[in-house]
């Protein structure tokens, strides 16, 4: 039996999603990343306390988001073998702490890695203000459908990245996650049982439920942000490739380098030594430099 040709996903119409969000959503997202785990950390309070609240830029990734379309049996995707490969976020200005948003998702391309190696689904989600139509940001992602390769499509292109400097990192941060981190983060919208159900995780070849790739990216970007003038709100583009799985309760160690207008970063699991986030880059608002 021939595998389903996932290139047909490019023509699939994915329903728009609308969401009203407010301070509680922003606080829940920040708690999902691990902000507030140290109650005496005044710098974290601005993200988890409604007074003078600031929205984290990576929250864009969970606004009006849903992966339900990937679980539709009509697509041919074997969703239980689906994992995230990368995400790239861009937003023209700092994210508001409340709003009424609309997201339109489309599959941009599908690549074939070959039999037994899966297929890569590249998609784009444009988030706009549902009242004014103003663009709030764009999220691009790549997902690996591990059980769907071999239909004869084009191979995937290599992800562009300038490479890391040969010098020592300009900043290193260790972020300890909590054992219930995935259970908390999934309340932001990604309810894939891979992050909650031990039986589903073991069936996928994992030791236990893993932390979401987007959660890891949010942690890494937050850990690298001290190199940016203005901190997290100065970040306008954030992206990385997921290089390994990360388990709740482990510590994520992020190395970051500052270059002109960009912060380069990568993260490893302190317990396993495995690279978790690779090819990370965060670009700053126009006029800001990191020198």
Highest mean pLDDT of the ranges 143-147, 150-154, 172-176: 172-176
Name the catalytic one among 25, 87, 130, 195.
Answer: 195
Domains of the chain: 7-145 (3.10.129.10), 171-287 (3.10.129.10)
Helix or strand (DSSP H, E) at 24: helix 23-33
Mean pLDDT of the chain: 91
pLDDT surpassing 90 at residue 225: yes
Name the catalytic one among 88, 130, 190, 279.
Answer: 190
3-class DSSP state for residue 25? helix
Rounded to an integer, what distance in angstroms lies between the CA atom of residue 33 and that of residue 55? Answer: 13
pLDDT surpassing 80 at residue 1: no
Question: What are the pLDDT digits (tens) for 239-279?
Answer: 999 999 999 999 999 999 999 889 999 999 999 999 999 99
Spatial neighbors of 152 by CB under 8 A, at least 6 apart, are: 5, 112
pLDDT of res. 39: 60
Question: Is 190 designated active site?
Answer: yes
Rounded to an integer, what distance in angstroms lies between the CA atom of residue 109 and that of residue 8? Answer: 9
Task: Tell me what the mean pLDDT of segment 109-128 comes to.
Answer: 92
Spatial neighbors of 217 by CB under 8 A, at least 6 apart, are: 58, 61, 87, 238, 240, 242, 277, 280
Total-model pTM: 0.92
Task: Tell me what the mean pLDDT of segment 183-197 comes to.
Answer: 92
Q: What is the DSSP letter of 109?
A: E
Question: What are the pLDDT digits (tens) for 33-67?
Answer: 999 887 667 778 999 999 999 999 999 999 999 88
3-class DSSP state for residue 114? coil
Residues β-bridged to residue 56: none
């Amino acid at each position: 039996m021939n595998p389903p040709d996932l290139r047909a996903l490019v023509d699939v119409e994915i329903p728009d999603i609308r969401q009203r969000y407010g301070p509680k959503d922003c606080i829940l997202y920040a708690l999902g990343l691990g902000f507030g785990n140290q109650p005496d950390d005044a710098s974290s309070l601005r993200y988890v306390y409604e007074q003078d609240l600031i929205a984290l830029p990576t929250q864009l990734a969970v606004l009006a988001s849903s992966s339900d379309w990937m679980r539709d049996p009509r697509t041919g995707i074997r969703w239980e073998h689906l994992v995230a490969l990368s995400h790239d976020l861009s937003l023209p200005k700092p994210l508001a702490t409340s709003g009424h948003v609309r997201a339109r998702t489309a599959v941009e391309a599908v690549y074939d890695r070959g039999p037994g190696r899966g297929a890569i689904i590249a998609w784009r989600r444009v988030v706009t203000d549902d009242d004014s139509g103003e663009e709030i940001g764009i999220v691009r992602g790549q997902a690996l459908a591990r059980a769907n390769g071999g239909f004869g499509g084009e191979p995937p292109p290599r992800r562009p990245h300038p490479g890391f400097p040969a010098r020592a990192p300009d900043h290193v941060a260790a972020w300890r996650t909590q054992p219930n981190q995935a259970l908390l983060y999934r309340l932001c919208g990604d309810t894939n049982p891979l992050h909650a159900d031990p039986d589903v995780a073991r069936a996928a070849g994992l030791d236990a439920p893993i932390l979401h790739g987007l959660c890891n990216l949010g942690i890494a970007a937050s850990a690298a942000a001290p190199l940016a003038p203005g901190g997290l709100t100065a970040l306008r583009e954030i992206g990385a490739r997921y290089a390994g799985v990360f388990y709740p309760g482990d510590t994520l160690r992020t190395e970051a380098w500052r270059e002109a207008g960009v912060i380069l970063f990568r993260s490893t699991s302190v317990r396993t030594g495995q690279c978790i986030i690779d090819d990370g880059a965060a670009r700053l608002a126009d006029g800001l430099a990191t020198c």
